Every structure is written in C-alpha cells, then in structure tokens.
Amino acid sequence: MWRMRGRELMGAGVPTLGLGLGWRPELALLIERHRDLGFVEVLAEDFDASGSLPAPIERLRDRGVTVIPHGVTLSLGGAEPLDRTWLKALGRLATRLGAPVVSEHIAFVRAGGVEAGHLLPLPRTRAMLDLLVANVCLAQDALPVPLALENVATLVEWPHAEMDEASFIAEVLERTGALLLLDIANVHANARNHGWDPLAYLDRLPLDRLAYVHVAGGVEREGLYHDTHAHPIAPPVLDLLEELAVRTALPGVLLERDDKFPPDAAVASELNSIRSAVLRGDDRRKQGVA
C-alpha cells in the first residue's frame, strides 16, 4: 500500500509523506478516522503560533501524522518588503508542529497596501525573477525548515513575458535551492486555459526538487477551467498525476478541499482515486513504460 513510511528521505532530503488531505474543521473527523493518511496540511494563517494547537491536530501528531504549515499571505512576488513578524510566527509554527517543510506560493497578494484576497500571478520577466529570488532567500533565512514553492492557477497572463512558466519556476528553484510543491491541478488549469502542453511542462521542471504534490477539484465555465477546491477532481488531473508518477517517485500527494464539502465517502473515494493514479504511474516507471 502506498502510504507514509516513517521518516524515510527522498532525494531532495524530503521525508516520504504518502497520502494526505488538507486539514479543515469540516474534515477533522474524517481525517481522524482515516488511518491511511501520512500527512495533513494546515493553513498557517489560521493558527496562533504562540497559542495551543487544536486538539485534533495534537492527536494527529501523537499518532505520527506529519503536519505541514501552508501559507497564503507572504506575498513572495510582491514589491513590498516581506512581513518579518509573520515570517517569525511562521517559523515558530513550523517548529511547534515538527514540520519538515513550510510551503507558500509563487504569487503576490498585496500591492500599495491593498490586500487582493487572491493569489495573483507574477509577470514572468527577469526583473520579477530577481525580486522573487531575493524574497525567497529572505524567507529561507528566517525559517527553521526548508521552503517549498507552489505554482498557482491563472485565468489571465501578464503581457510581454520573457520566459514560460516552467522556465520561470525552474530558475527560481535553481537560484534559491527551494523545494517544489507542484499543484498538478493548477498545471492542468493553466495548460487548458493558455493552450500549452502539460506533459512538456512536467518534463522541464526539476522534479528532483519535489517536496510534495497538490490535487484539487475544479470546474469549466465558458471555456475556462477554474481551480475551485470545491468540485470533484477532473479526470485529466488524475491522468496528469499518473504521468507525473511515471517521471519520478512522489514523496507525497495531498487532496485539497475548501468548500462544498461532500460526504465522507466521496472524499474517501477521491483519496482512493489519487492513490490508484500514483500506483499506476509507479508501475509504469518501474517497468520503463512511458
């Protein structure tokens, strides 16, 4: 069975995490009952790094489930200075959780003091790349564990790009030594919305830097695919997950669900679909079948 195996390390020094589910209060009971989960991810902004942890999180830690803080407000691609107070709190939270890694997004969320409330895409220019690298390095210096960077879904792209998305991400990882949190649903969304080949994208990423993988549901509206985290996983996303597992052994894969929470049986079915896609890809990789 594909699941967590203690603290075994992958090539980039990342522990083998196995199958995961994003922790939300609405899913807490399901997560507690689902004994095949190797890790969960918590929204870092929902936790007080100086306060006590919720009892369900403490119980998960007691039984050996890895807990990873996932940030959404650091704004690594913003022109404004990083919030050093929040960085310190994020580091304290990672330490309290015993987390092997902290994750954040390749995005910006504020400008001119205005909060967007969304993960906004970055213009893929050399100037933006230099700014992002500088901010990632500052964050890494402040955190007690490695930082993993996540690709985001975009409905529009900035004009005058100087490189494609895969090249942009690869260079950020190369220049910073950061890890990659690859959201395979976002790969599908961007390939579908912007007309590029998702398999060629995977082949150009430094998959040896992979920390773990996100999978989520979405829906197509008026010709655009929306990454909603509130709908079932689209079959092409599971196909891409299998293709990713053909290319490299996956440290862990986590299902995100943030709204319209379905019955527990439906969530369990999606977790089984994820597991099956990974196992199919593993088998093809081991047999040398492309």
CATH number, position 222: 3.20.20.150
Nearest to 275 by CA among 250, 248, 247: 250
Helix (H) or strand (E) holding 204: helix 198-204
Q: What are phi and psi of 171, to 5 degrees?
A: -70, -35
**Cα Rg, the chain, nearest whole Å:** 18
**Strand 18-22 versus strand 102-105 pairing type:** unpaired
Strands (E), 88-209: 102-105, 108-111, 114-120, 147-150, 179-183
* 189 in a structural domain: yes
Residue 49 has which token pair? Answer: 């790094």
**Please, which residues have CB within 8 angstroms of residue 131's CB and are 6 or more apart in sequence?**
77, 79
Nearest to 104 by CA among 155, 138, 64: 138
| CA–CA gap between residue 266 and residue 218 (Å, rounded) | 15
Using an 8 Å Cβ cutoff, are 34 and 18 in contact? no
| CA–CA gap between residue 124 and residue 168 (Å, rounded) | 7
For the chain, give the number of residues.
290
Alpha helices for the chain (secondary structure H): 28-33, 55-62, 84-97, 126-142, 165-176, 184-194, 198-204, 235-247, 264-287
Determine the pLDDT at residue 289: 77
Determine the pLDDT at residue 8: 47
* 170 in a structural domain: yes
- The residue ranges of the chain whose pLDDT is under 50 are 1-9
Determine the pLDDT at residue 10: 52
* 182 in a structural domain: yes
| CA–CA gap between residue 65 and residue 258 (Å, rounded) | 20
State which residues form the domain around 201.
Answer: 18-287
Number of domains in the chain: 1
Using an 8 Å Cβ cutoff, are 275 and 19 in contact? yes
Determine the pLDDT at residue 1: 33
* 10 in a structural domain: no
Determine the pLDDT at residue 13: 63
* 186 in a structural domain: yes
Q: How far is CA 140 from CA 152, 171, 179, 234, in A?
A: 20, 16, 11, 34
* 4 in a structural domain: no
| CA–CA gap between residue 223 and residue 87 (Å, rounded) | 39
Determine the pLDDT at residue 3: 36
* 7 in a structural domain: no
Nearest to 214 by CA among 182, 259, 248: 182
Query: pTM of the full predicted structure?
Result: 0.94
* 268 in a structural domain: yes
Q: What is the DSSP letter of 44?
A: G
The residue to which tokens 């304290």 are assigned? 92
